[in-house]
Amino acid sequence: MKQVIYKPAEQRVMVFPQEEKETKLSSGIILMKGSGEGKPGMGLVVASGTGDERNKMLYHPGDLVMYSQYSGLDVKLNLVDHGDHTYKVMNQLDIMGTIIEI
Neighbour tally for 11: CB within 10 Å? 20
In which domain, by residue range, is 81 found? 1-19+39-102
pTM (2 decimals)?
Answer: 0.78
The answer to the question of residue 12 being in a domain is yes
Considering its fold, how many domains does the chain have in total? 1
Distance CA 75, CA 34 (A): 21
pLDDT at 91 over 70: yes
Cα dist. 97→45, 61, 72 in Å?
Answer: 12, 14, 15
The answer to the question of residue 4 being in a domain is yes
The answer to the question of residue 87 being in a domain is yes
Q: Where residue 19 falls among pLDDT bands split at 50, 70, 90? A: confident
Q: Are 1 and 84 in contact (CB under 8 A)?
A: yes
Q: Are 48 and 60 in contact (CB under 8 A)?
A: yes
CATH number at residue 47: 2.30.33.40
Lowest mean pLDDT among 21-30, 68-77, 86-95: 21-30
Q: What are phi and psi of 92, to 5 degrees?
A: -60, -20
Distance CA 3, CA 6 (A): 10
